[in-house]
Amino acid sequence: MFALSLFAIGLNAQESEYKVFYFSGSPKIVEKGKEISVKRDTYLNSKASIKLPANSYLVLTNKNEVPMGISNPGTYSIADLNKIYENVGNSNLTQEFFDYIANNMIQENEKARRSGGVYRAVGDILVAPFDEAVLLIDSLTLSWKNPKQKKLYLKVYNPGNWELIYNIPTTDSTYTLYYEPQKFIKGREYAWTVYHGEDHPQQGTILRVFTFADDTWKENFNNKLKVIKESGENVEINKIKTLRLYLDNNIYPLSESE
C-alpha cells in the first residue's frame, strides 16, 4: 500500500494544471517524441507539448477552471501555455470573454465539419442544417443555395426503404418542416436534398440526414444537462460545458437550445 501511494504521488507530480476541455480537428499531444491523440478531460503531462495543425481548435482549462482557446497552428509547450495564461489572467473574466470562447467553439466546430469531409461534394448547394443534425424541437428549417431562384425540388426520404416523403417544387432557398406523426417517427433518421428534377436524384447527389429526438434520447440528454447544472462550478464554465454537450450531440439549431 505504501509503495502504491508513492507511485500515485509520482504520477500526479508529472501532471500540469492544464486539462483538455474541448477540441475540434486533430490536435496531438507530443510526449517523448511520440504523438498521442488528444482526449477530453485529461490533464497534460508537465513535460508534454500540444501540436495544433491547421483547421484545429483546442480549449484548455487551468486549476481555476479558466478556459483558454488556441487556434493558431503550432507546437505549444507547458511554458508557452503559462505565458498565454499570464495574458488571460485568472480574474476580471467578463461574460464577453466566455462568449468569445463559446463563439470560437461553434465556429471551429463548423470548420472541422467542412475539412473533415461532411461537405464533400464540389458544387454541393445544401447549407443547413449540417449532416446528422438532432432536433429537440418539432420543426426544422432547411436551407440551400439558390441565388437565381431556379425551380428545384426539395426531397425528403426515409432511408430505411427510400420512401419519398416530400417532393416539393420551390424557387426559394429555405423551407420549414414540421414534425407530423403520420410522416415521421421520432428517433429515426431521415434524409433530405434539393434537386433540379422531379424524379429521383442521380447517383452521387449529396443527401444530409436529420433526426427528431425521441423521449428516451431527450431524457438521457436532459440527465447529462442536470449533472452539469448541479456541479456547483462557475456559472459561465457550466454554460460552456453545456455548449460542449450540444456540439457533441449534434443538436440543431444551437440558438434554440442554449
CATH number for the domain spanning 167: value is 2.60.40.10
Contact 37, 27 (CB under 8 A): no
Print the domain residue range for 32: 2-93
Residues 160 and 234 reside in one and the same domain: yes
Give the pLDDT score at 95: 66
Q: Are residues 134 and 251 in the same domain?
A: yes
Residue at 145 is within a domain = yes
Domain tally, the chain = 2
Residue that is last in its domain, among 78, 93, 108 = 93
What pLDDT sits at residue 225? 92
Domain boundary among 93, 128, 163: 93
176-234 pLDDT tens trace: 999 999 999 999 999 999 999 888 888 778 889 999 999 999 999 999 999 988 876 67
pLDDT attached to residue 122: 37
127 shares its domain with 210: yes
* Whether 121 and 78 share a structural domain: no
pLDDT value of position 241: 87
- pLDDT value of residue 49: 93
Residue 103, domain member (yes or no)? no
* Structural domain contains residue 179: yes
Note whether 144 and 70 are same-domain residues: no
Q: Are residues 198 and 89 in the same domain?
A: no
Per-residue pLDDT, 5? 41
What secondary structure does DSSP assign to the chain, as a single string? -HHHHHHHHHHHHTEEEEEEEEEES--EEEETTEEEE--TT-EEETT-EEEE-TT-EEEEE-TT--EEEE-S-EEEEHHHHHHHHHHH-SS---HHHHHHHHHHHHHHHHHHHHHTTSS-STT--EEESPTTEEESSSEEEEEE--TT---EEEEEEETTTTEEEEEEEESSSEEEEE--TTT--TT-EEEEEEESSSSPPPTT---EEEEE--HHHHHHHHHHHHHHHTS---HHHHHHHHHHHHHHTTBS-HHHH-
46 with 151, same domain: the answer is no
Residue 42 lies in a domain: yes
Q: Do residues 71 and 150 both lie within one domain? A: no
Answer whether residue 106 is part of any domain.
no
Instruction: Looking at the structure, tell me whether residues 204 and 245 fall in a common domain.
Output: yes
Classify residue 140: in a domain, yes or no.
yes
Same domain, yes or no, for 131 and 251?
Answer: yes
What is the pLDDT at residue 92? 46
pLDDT less than 70: residues of the chain: 1-13, 88-97, 111-123, 232-233, 255-258
